Structure 1
C-alpha cells in the first residue's frame, strides 16, 4: 500500500476533529453522545467500496459516489430537522462539507 499524502492525512484527521469540536461546542452537556452520532456521518463512505479503485487520491467524492450526490445531500439536510435525527444529519453534512473542501483543494 502506498503512503498517504499530507492532504489526505489532514482530511482524515479533520473527519474526526471537526465532529468532536462541533459536538463539544454545540451540545456541551451531551457532547459525547452527540459526537458518536456526528462521527457516524462517516458511514456514507461505504459507497467508496462500489468504486474501482476504492481509493483514488485525485478523485472528488462529491457527485461521484452515490451517497455523495446532491439528492443524498438534500436528504442529509432534511435529517437535521427532526430532533431525533438531528445529530446524524449534522454529522453527514459535516462529512460532505469536509469532502467538498478537499475537492476544492485538489
Structure 2
C-alpha cells in the first residue's frame, strides 16, 4: 500500500491508502474522495476523474496515452500540462506521496 493525497474541490486535503495495481480512480472513489464521479467506471470516456498532478516523485507516473490525451482535450474543463485521468493510472510503489488536485465539476 502507498499513500496518495487528494486536494478536494473544497480545498481540504485527503490522505488515502492505495493498493499496488488498482487504478488511482478506484482507490479514490473507494475512499470517498469528493469530486471524483467516475461516471464511466474507468473506461476513459467521461473525464469525471480528472485531476491535476501537484507533486509526484521523479519516477512516479507513467506517460499519458493518446486515448487519455484525446479524452482530456475534449472535456469541458481546460486541459492543463499536469492534467491526468486517474482511471488511467495504475498504482505503483513509485507513486508513494503523489499529490493530486481534483478538478471538480
TM bracket (short chain): under 0.3
TM-score relative to the length of structure 1 = 0.28
Larger helix percent: 1
Bigger Rg over Cα: 1
Structure 1 or 2: larger strand share? 2
**Normalised by the size of structure 2, how large is the TM-score?**
0.28
